Amino acid sequence: MDNWNIIFIVLTCVSFVYSALQPGNWGSCENGESIPTRTNTSLRVEALRAEMVKEKLGAYIVPSEDFHMSEFVSSYDERRFYISGFDGSMGTAVITATHAALWTRGKYFLQAETQLGCDWILMREREPGVPTIEEWLGEQLENQAVKKVGACPYFFGNDAWLDYEKSLEQHGLRLGQTVPDLIDKIWTDDRPAFPDTVINSYPLKYAGKSWQDKVQEVQEEMKKKNADVLIVTMLDETAWLFNMRATDIRGFVNDPFFYSLAIVRPSSVSLYIKNKEMKLTANPTDQESDQTIKDHLNTRADGSCRKNSNKMCVEVKEYNYVSFIMDLDALAGNATIKRIWLSYFCNYAVYTMIPQDKIYVDNTPVAMLKTQKNDVEVQGMTNSHIRDAAALAIFASKLEKGVKSGETWTEVSASNELTRLRSLQDLNRGDSFASISSSGSNAAIIHYFPTNTTDRRITANDIYLIDSGGQYLDGTTDVTRTFLWRDPTAFEKECYTRVLMGQINLAMAVWTKGLFGREIDAWARQPLFDVGLTFKHGTGHGIGHYLSVHEGPGRISNYHAKFDWDVPLAEHMFYSDEPGYYEDGKFGIRLENIVYVKKVETKYSMKGVTMLGMETVTLFPYETHLIDYSKMSGKQISWLNAYNAKTLEKVGKLLKDQDAMEAYEWVEKRTKKIETTSGSTTTIASNFIIYSLLLLYLIW
């Protein structure tokens, strides 16, 4: 799945569900415009202004982020959506006593226009003449007595906050910390509940490493960097570190996380969870979990450590922003603590508690250990991708047959059927995100997610793209294939072929250990570049192991701006390999596999140099009639033949075991060996004719 797809999906759906649940709350503009996508936020903005007056603020800034700087926030944390009605993934709302404005980027202009309340100004970022937030505030508050701008430091990254602070100062304004957040004060009645799902212990046979071993490794990494304290604020990090899973983030991504924070010290660990006594003692809700969290973490029911054994114990504390910040304050003031490790993704409130000379900023050792999967995790990812491919093959063969025979299939009905088929596979725990099921011109919209208002029939005439994935106890999947059930045009065929060639280029690439993803992305784009085409998204994102479908810190992308937290590609990191091509208003093609990085053997070797390559774990066939083999190199065709053989062997076997013979034949048909001698499938025949004629001429 593309790096930004899910954000759009989550928010589009949240918006839709929200609107649907509150029919009387649809916005209406002065000119009489009344559309179901618009929210009337006037009362909310007025309530916020009343709070601003109490706090003596000239303006208030509402960003998209939550306390954990999550890529996908729960509906509880949708503060900017609540105040503005706009649910795009990027956007910042700014409210003064007289005006309300929302800044967002080009791709969201249309969406914002149809969602923002009528009393909002849409600020089209980077368009000529559009002021920055700071410039606009400078003008708005120029003749005002109140020069203070408020914002809650819980929901800003450190760099973002400091940038605002500096830039506002240049406009004569002062940024002040507002705690608690003013949206939290006014958003009470109609707010989704704070997510509070039961936490299940995650069995060792899937995790591959006990939380005790993980904590010990983290502590060893801390020792190497002389860190006395490690602060863990990201939700996938706590889920991985403690081998625990829940369903707090449910929506258009299903991230099996629980709201939590952690503090690791050289000889102790503290975990903060919401409603701790219930969570510690509740019976597991997952059939594979066989113990309560208190037993799993070796605590008493109140979260205090059991001292009755030599075993490691996690002290469990109640999750609460304020008490966590107070605990940080105590640590920061402790003279024996010299160095406190923060990730790039801690919020400003966390940063600001730690004195400058004690801060050490780097990817946490939790993130770094998590991203390089252990052998059990690698095997689990491999296995879950085979089961996932079986579900997808059953789906694809059924859909093809249905569409060709005139059945009515739509983007939404297809998506629902695929979810159902995945749920029948072993260890499935739902989709990893809502499927991007898109037909024809919809497939050209990289951020598309079908809703009842956009739903389109899937026909044999249109290219159909489905980007989907599953959560399994032993892994997370994310796969995209593109179909067309008629003869392609020459251009469609060339695009599909070049996207495939790019995907194969990356899959069979070999490089020296130490390179970053952005430094090898160009291999995947080269076949498209050669004819003047490209795709406006990254080639690959990291993926978790029964965790998030987007996992950092690495990424295979020269499309994104440079980021400080990037890390070189290393063994056992899993990434997507998903080049694409999108023809606006017509069609979209994307082919996505999951690959993992591994050491490879080469003809020669150099002292001190490790060569890395990829192993593709997604085993799913391609549409052979959309491939122009004559454009591919001999190496690419060899790779494809080996891939097809493995797909038939692994996925074919499972389909037979599941008695899914139609799907088996569907796969078998697409995985036949491509015969070629010198990079072109036509070479043998044409050469044979030429040489035969030549020889006959010579003989006679």
Applying CB under 8 A, the residues found at the interface with a copy of itself are 166, 169-170, 357, 491, 509-512, 515-516, 518-523, 525-526, 529-534, 558, 562, 584, 602-607, 609, 611, 633, 678-680, 683, 687-688, 691-692, 694-696
Burial class (CB in 10 A: 0-12, 13-18, 19+), 688: exposed
- The least distance separating a copy of itself from the CB of residue 467, rounded to whole angstroms, comes to 21
- The least distance separating a copy of itself from the CB of residue 362, rounded to whole angstroms, comes to 15
Non-local CB neighbours of 78 within 8 Å, separated by 6+ positions: 11, 14, 87
> Smaller CB distance to a copy of itself: residue 220 or 564?
564
> Smaller CB distance to a copy of itself: residue 6 or 614?
614
- The least distance separating a copy of itself from the CB of residue 510, rounded to whole angstroms, comes to 5
> Smaller CB distance to a copy of itself: residue 43 or 609?
609
Distance from C-alpha of 442 to C-alpha of 433, rounded to nearest angstrom: 18
Residue 262's beta-bridge partner residues? 232, 271
- The least distance separating a copy of itself from the CB of residue 170, rounded to whole angstroms, comes to 7
- The least distance separating a copy of itself from the CB of residue 554, rounded to whole angstroms, comes to 14
Residues 536, 539, 543: CA angle, nearest 5 degrees? 125
> Smaller CB distance to a copy of itself: residue 251 or 554?
554
- The least distance separating a copy of itself from the CB of residue 540, rounded to whole angstroms, comes to 14
Residue 181's beta-bridge partner residues? none
Distance from C-alpha of 182 to C-alpha of 103, rounded to nearest angstrom: 19
What the block records as the tokens of 54 is 């109490």
> Smaller CB distance to a copy of itself: residue 97 or 570?
570
The structure tokens 């299940």 sit at: 200
Q: Of 95, 138, 151, 577, which is closest to residue 349 (Cα–Cα)?
A: 151
Beta strands in 473-625 (DSSP E): 475-476, 479-483, 510-512, 540-542, 551-556, 574-577, 580-583, 587-590, 593-599, 611-616
- The least distance separating a copy of itself from the CB of residue 574, rounded to whole angstroms, comes to 21
Q: Of 575, 377, 589, 431, which is closest to residue 499 (Cα–Cα)?
A: 589
Non-local CB neighbours of 347 within 8 Å, separated by 6+ positions: 65, 67, 68, 69, 153, 154, 155, 156, 157, 158, 233
What φ, ψ does residue 675 adopt, rounded to 5°?
A: -90, 125
- Contact indicator for 428, 422 with CB cutoff of 8 Å: yes
- The least distance separating a copy of itself from the CB of residue 110, rounded to whole angstroms, comes to 17
> Smaller CB distance to a copy of itself: residue 194 or 529?
529
- The least distance separating a copy of itself from the CB of residue 112, rounded to whole angstroms, comes to 21
- Contact indicator for 147, 58 with CB cutoff of 8 Å: yes
